[in-house]
Amino acid sequence: MIVGRHEAERPAPVHSVPKAKAQDFLARLAPEHAAFAKANGFDGAAGQTLALPDGAGRLAMVLLGTGDESDPFAAAALTKYRDATFALGENWRDPTAATLAFLLGLYRYDSYKAVPEKTAKLVAPEGVDTVDVRRIAKAVGLTRDLVNTPANDLGPAELADAAQALAREYGAVVEITDGEDLETGFPMIAAVGAASHRPPLLVDLTWGDETAPKVTLVGKGVVFDTGGLDIKPASAMLLMKKDMGGAAQALGLAQMIMDAELPVRLRVLIGAAENAIGGCAFRPGDVLRSRKGLTVEIGNTDAEGRLVLADALALADDEAPEILIDFATLTGAARVALGPDLPAMFTHDDGVAQEIAVSGEDVHDPVWRLPLWPRYDKWLKSDIADVNHISSQAFAGSITAALFLNRFVEKAQAHVHFDLYAWNNEPRPGRPKGGEAQAIRALYHWLSVRYGA
């Protein structure tokens, strides 16, 4: 946690020691500390930590190896010292990033196991907006928690509960559409969730001044994806609890926006469904009528996420928001192209794309733009419906998915689609293995700058 200076007695300074400067730094230490560091092989390599004692055996300081200084989350390594209080010492390029890294490193998903009672503390560095840093860390924690929750404890109703909890905290309004109203108004969401014993639904959260600029977030909330009748192999189902990662991102970003009281009219739409297998499951070759009125031929039931998003996007587009952003764990093709760390970003607006990319660089939350290449749109042709929801080709799967979604947005002034992974396959400082927030810190920074807060 972050504490004030008046709350900390004898905080231990933590010095960032890049590998290239390690020898010079160690030469300035007291001889006994320099000898201790040498005996323990400390050379500033990334991830190294070394606690140096004082003459009374107490913690005098910690040296943190930061290698080539390329990892903005290096300070998270301090959180392994659970019963200590630290203060940032020398060589920290970005104290705000270090403070956020420390808080993100404290994250534990502890719903199903006991956790240690004690935790590391960091004295609030001078000049760091710790209120905002805490805000961001809290929202990242919400996002991670939702993605990490097993599907048996997070169905469509529980995802709606999470949205309603946010609404209660910040004075927002939530409407839930389900049952016959969902079948009539959002037929593709209803079709995706028809085979599950847990009914599908649409979450519609609104907050803020109706006259303010409209910012709408849409999240894919497929709480578990078997692939439907085009069933996935067992190995591909192991992480499918995270297929609602898009909804988690939308709720995490919404929390930051509302907590910061950004001067916008916020709307969050989540299509929540379980893509299960049963007698009511939709089939390959079916033709579904969408909320927009377009008929959609089903090429593969394992491409269900774009169907859920399309109906929600059509509703979002009705009021022509200034900014429309959707999030989804949508295609393996995006991961093949960019790997797990880089969310794919699609938009027709060059200015918005550049601004978001720069914001991502500023706050160490990268995104990478891919093109809405118009020549591939013909690959979505159907012989019997207005459009097929998957491509007839084996190429550019993330692009054709984005092109399909683009057909459901006409009025929004700017539409940005994110195809992301929402997961860390391996633990790193500040980024534990498991569910992850991606792109939302970049977007929060961008929206804060755009709307002058």
Domains annotated on the chain, with CATH? 2-127 (3.40.220.10), 134-450 (3.40.630.10)
291 is catalytic: no
Query: Which of 108, 134, 232, 289 is an active site residue?
Result: 232
Cβ-contact 204, 177 below 8 angstroms: yes
Distances (CA, A) of 3 to 11, 102, 355: 11, 12, 34
232 is catalytic: yes
Query: Which of 267, 306, 441, 450 is an active site residue?
Result: 306
Residue 428 burial (10 A CB sphere; 0-12, 13-18, 19+):
middle
- How many beta carbons lie within 10 A of that of residue 1, not counting itself? 13
Q: Give CA torsion, residues 74, 79, 84, 89, to 10 deg.
A: 10
What is the largest distance, in Å, between two alpha-carbon atoms of the chain?
Answer: 82
Strand bridging mode 2-3 / 59-65: unpaired
Task: Name the pTM for this structure.
Answer: 0.95
Please choose, from the candidates 231, 315, 329, 316, the residue with its C-alpha nearest in 3D space to the C-alpha of residue 281: 231
Q: Which helix (H) or strand (E) holds 156?
A: helix 156-170
- Spell out the per-residue pLDDT of the chain, length 453, in tens: 777 666 667 888 899 999 999 999 999 999 999 999 999 999 999 989 999 988 777 888 999 999 999 999 999 999 988 888 899 988 898 999 999 999 999 999 988 988 777 788 999 998 999 999 999 999 999 999 999 999 999 999 999 999 999 999 999 999 999 999 999 999 999 999 999 999 999 999 999 999 999 999 999 999 999 999 999 999 999 999 999 999 999 999 999 999 999 999 999 999 999 999 999 999 999 999 999 999 999 999 999 999 999 999 999 999 999 999 999 999 999 999 999 999 999 999 999 999 999 999 999 999 999 999 999 999 999 999 999 999 989 999 999 999 999 999 999 999 999 999 999 999 999 999 999 999 999 999 999 999 986
In angstroms, the CA 81 to CA 77 distance is 9
In angstroms, the CA 246 to CA 344 distance is 13
Q: Evaluate the CA torsion angle 18, 24, 29, 32 in order and state its sign.
A: positive
